[in-house]
Amino acid sequence: MPVFRIAIIGAGPAGCTLGRLLYLSDINFVIFERESSRDVRSQGGTLDLRPNKGLAAIKAAQLEDEFLQYARYDGEALAITDKNLKSYISLSGKTSDKSGGRPEIDRRRLRSILLDSLPDGAVQWGCYLKSIGEDLVLHFEGGRTESGFDLIVGADGAWSKTRRLLTGQTPIYSGICGTELYISDIATRYTDLYNLVNKGSIFSYSDGHSVSVQQTGDGSMRVADWGVRDQQWVKDNHIEVLGALGVKKMLATEYKSWDPQLQKLFSVADDDSIVTRSLFMIPKGSRWVNKPGVTLIGDAAHVMVPFAGEGANMAMADAMELAQCIAACEGKEALIMNMIRFEEDMAQRAYPSQEWSEQNMEDMFFTVGAPRTVIERYVVRALLHTMGPAKAAVASVFVSGVGEGILKVELCEREEANKRALPLWACCKHHDAF
């Protein structure tokens, strides 16, 4: 096996997964991360890892045992409702079966598992990349430079500095922005809200807005408000402008017609947890001309809105595919050719996930009467992407309340579903409109 020297920019899920897989293949690498330490900031809420993407990467990284120590299969519980908490989709979480499904894990915990699996010194913290020269020299803040790499992998997120060397394409504003908040120690402080979420997630949509709620493994609850708004909204309603009380008053006004329990989520949130942000995406189908010695993975390559839960899964799948491509190379010429093939394959793999994410966003935020008017095609789309057309066509679900555009769906264990359910396709009048 030839000796390669790989630079990875960014120690997120993509970069750390790639590092772990290169380590297992005895390929020399270093990860440059701009943050000063692993604990400098919150890593966000929870992720559900999917069998052919995130979970496949965990298995390839030989980290399944560590993952299963913290995976929450009860976190698969999910409800999609309107602003009055009228449920349209209800999925129950598993209690102990760890043989399949899409388990939840906190982003912070996943990152720790990946970081702990890397050799000492593999991550160089506090390395803020300013630019990459045409000669592939890395220029860091403070005047530091690094060079001599056979491949530089940009895993540096939506606003990737690495991407600038390959393309002028930058993320575009999705039209959605909002606020993220946390409620600590939810089980003992607010039992009613804890029971409402049922250890899983609730996604409530109406009137171009949403309230999403996720239980996390540390006993807190993540709450997010997303809405169709001008991008200036984030600046005008930032916590540094309004203060915590002002942000909560603003949310109380915007959501005054929503169910009182959903309103309560905002009012009781921890004051020091409030963050406002905009959602950006790379236009689906975007490409760049291959430049030998540089490539991108994860959000740096194809950042998407979070409404299909595909971002981290795609990032980890990218890392898995890239590691295999590098390990298969017998020399530097082969490395160049494999990167061309990898980038084309990644673009083709990413496109369906980008499209799924955007279609869900269009349905739930930009379609009058959502979720009632879009729930049928929303469900069909999810089944097509997660199960594939053949399995989705014969999927069994429990369906009730079909009529006037209302569809309530409960995915069941197959044996139980076969006793009482209709095939989903028999109930979906608009299955050809996704």
Q: Are 392 and 243 in a shared domain?
A: no
- Phi first, then psi, for residue 178 (nearest 5°) are 180, -160
- Phi first, then psi, for residue 100 (nearest 5°) are -170, -165
Distance of CA 352 to the CA centre of its chain: 15
Q: Are 308 and 422 in a shared domain?
A: no
Report pLDDT for 119: 97
Q: Could you tell me if residue 11 is inside a domain?
A: yes
Q: How many CB atoms lie within 10 A of CB 44?
A: 18
Helix (H) or strand (E) holding 118: none
Residue with tokens 């020091």: 272
Report pLDDT for 217: 86
Retrieve residue 132's tokens. 């990459």
Sheet containing strand 123-124, strands side by side: 123-124, 28-32, 5-9, 151-154, 294-296
Report pLDDT for 1: 57
Q: Which amino acid is at 211?
A: V
Report pLDDT for 418: 45
> For residue 398, what are the contacts with CB-CB under 8 A and spacing of at least 6?
409, 410, 411, 412, 417, 420, 421
Q: Give the dihedral sign, CA 73/74/80/83.
A: negative
Retrieve residue 81's tokens. 């409702």
What is the number of alpha carbons within 13 Å of residue 279 lying toward its C-beta? 21
Q: What is the pLDDT along the chain (434 residues), one digit of tens a residue?
A: 568 999 999 999 999 999 999 999 999 999 999 999 988 766 667 888 999 999 999 999 999 999 999 988 765 678 999 999 999 988 776 555 554 567 789 999 999 999 999 999 999 999 999 999 999 999 999 999 999 999 999 999 999 999 999 999 999 999 999 999 999 999 999 999 999 998 889 999 999 999 999 998 889 999 999 999 999 999 999 999 999 999 999 999 999 999 999 999 999 999 999 999 999 999 999 999 999 999 999 999 999 999 999 999 999 999 999 999 999 998 889 999 999 999 999 999 999 999 999 999 999 999 999 999 999 889 888 888 877 655 555 444 444 444 444 455 554 444 444 444 444 433 443 333 33
> For residue 359, what are the contacts with CB-CB under 8 A and spacing of at least 6?
381, 434
Q: Could you tell me if residue 213 is inside a domain?
A: yes
Q: Could you tell me if residue 84 is inside a domain?
A: no
Q: Are 299 and 339 in a shared domain?
A: yes
Last residue of a domain, one of 253, 280, 307: 280
Report pLDDT for 382: 87
Q: Could you tell me if residue 91 is inside a domain?
A: no
* CATH at residue 222: 3.30.9.30
User: Based on the structure, what is the number of domains in the chain?
Assistant: 3
Q: Are 194 and 292 in a shared domain?
A: no
Q: Could you tell me if residue 325 is inside a domain?
A: yes
Q: pLDDT of 37-48, one tens digit each?
A: 988 766 667 888
Pairing of strands 172-183, 275-281: antiparallel
Residue range of the domain that includes 261: 172-280
